[in-house]
Structure 1
Amino acid sequence: MTSAHLHLIINHIPVLGMLFGAAILAYGLWRSQDAIIRVALGLFVVSGVGAVGAYVSGEGAEEIVEDLPGISHAVIETHEEVALIAFLLTGLLGTLALGLLIWRRRSEIPRIASVSLLLAALGVFGVLVYTANTGGKIRHTELRDGTTQATSYDALDYEDDHD
C-alpha cells in the first residue's frame, strides 16, 4: 500500500466522523440524552485523530502524484493550504470534545457546550468538505473549473483500452 492509497483511505475519517458526529449530536440535543451526546463527542475525537493521519500522509501522497501527467501543482498547493486549516480546526474540535468528556465524565454535558460544539462541527464540516473537494481536483480533472474535456493523456489512455 502506498502513502497515496493510505491518504485516500484515512482522509474519509474526519469528513464522515464530523458529519455523523454533528447529526448524532443534533439528535442527542433534540432528545436531551446525554449518552447520545457523548457518542457524538467521541466521533469528534475520532475525527481529530483521523485528521492527523490524513494530514501526515498527505506529503507522501504528493510525492507519488506530483509528477504524473495532468497533475496541477497549483491545485496541490491549494489543497495543502486548505488541508492545514482543516487539520487545525478538526484537531481543535476533537481536543475540545475530549476535554469536555474528561471534565464532565461524572455529570451531564452542559447544553450550551453541546450547542456550541454542534455549531462549530457544522463549520468544520464545511471546511472539511471544501478540503476534500480541492483534493479530489488533484486527480479528477473533470472537477476543475472550466474543465469539460479529457486531457490528451486521458484520451490516449481511453484509446489504448478500447482498441
Structure 2
Amino acid sequence: MNQAHWHLLLTHLPIVGALAGLGTLLGGFIFRSEPVKRAAMGIFIFSALLAIPTFLTGEGAEEMVEGLPGVNESLIGQHENVATLFVWILGALGLFSAITLVANMRGMKIQQALSVLTLALAIGTVGLSVQLGKTGGEIRHTEIRGATAQMDGGGEENGGPTVSGQEEDDDDN
C-alpha cells in the first residue's frame, strides 16, 4: 500500500473520533458521569494520535493525485491548510484531554473547569473537522464541488461549473 492508500484508510478516523469524543463528553455532562467524561478524554487522546500518521501520509496522497484529471491544485492547497490547522488543534485537544483526565482521576478541584474548557475546545475542533472533511472530499468528488459551485452561482451560462468550479469563458475577446 502506498501513502495515498494509508491516507484514505486513516483520514476519517480523527474526524469521527473528535465527533464521537464530543458526543461522549456531552453525555458525561448530561448524565453527570465522570467515567463517561474520562472515556471522552481517551477518545480525544486516541484521535489526536491518529491525526499524526493521517497528516503525514497526506503529502504522499497529494503526489499521487496531483496529475489526475479533474484534480484542482488549489483545492489540495486549501485542504492542506485546513489539515495543518486541524492537526495542531486536535493535538492541543489531545494534550488538554490528558491533563483533564489526570485531574479527573486524581479528584482535583480544577477537574470540572478543565472539563468545560475541554468541551469548548472539542466543539471548535469538530467545527474545524467539518471544514477539513469538506475540503478533502472536494478534491476527488466533483459532485460535491458542483453543488457548491451551483449554490454560489458559478458556471450557469455554460451548462454548469467546470472541474475547478470556475465559469468557462467562451468569449475570445
CA distance in 2, matches of 1:18, 1:12: 10
What is aligned with 1:161? Answer: none
**Unpaired runs of 5+ in structure 1?**
152-163
Moved more, 1-10 or 41-50: 1-10
CA distance in 1, matches of 2:144, 2:80: 17
CA distance in 2, matches of 1:31, 1:17: 21
CA distance in 1, matches of 2:93, 2:38: 14
Equivalenced residue count is 151
Tell which has more relative contact order, 1 or 2 (C-alpha 8 A, sep 6+).
1
CA distance in 1, matches of 2:94, 2:7: 20
Aligned-partner residue type, residue 82 of structure 1: V
Instruction: Report the alpha carbon displacement of residue 102 of structure 1 after superposing the two structures with TM.
Output: 3.0
1:18-29 alignment, distance < 5 Å:
18-29=18-29
Tell me the alpha carbon deviations over residues 72-130 of structure 1, each in whole angstroms, 9 at most, x when there is no partner. 00100111111100111001100111122234433267222112111210110110110
1:71-150 alignment, distance < 5 Å:
71-107=71-107, 110-144=111-145, 145-146=148-149
CA distance in 2, matches of 1:93, 1:149: 38
CA distance in 1, matches of 2:16, 2:132: 13
**Unpaired runs of 5+ in structure 2?**
151-159, 164-173
Moved more, 33-42 or 136-145: 136-145
What is aligned with 2:50? Answer: 50
Aligned-partner residue type, residue 121 of structure 1: A
Question: TM-score when scaled to structure 2?
Answer: 0.81
Aligned-partner residue type, residue 73 of structure 1: E
Question: TM-score when scaled to structure 1?
Answer: 0.85
Instruction: Report the alpha carbon displacement of residue 2 of structure 1 after superposing the two structures with TM.
Output: 2.1
Choose between structure 1 and 2: higher helix proportion: 1
The share of aligned pairs that are identical, in percent, is: 37
CA distance in 2, matches of 1:92, 1:111: 18
Contact (CA 8 Å) 1:14, 1:48: kept in 2 or not?
Answer: yes
Structure 1 consecutive aligned stretches of length 4 or more whose deviation exceeds 4 Å: 147-151
Aligned-partner residue type, residue 69 of structure 1: P
What is aligned with 2:36? Answer: 36
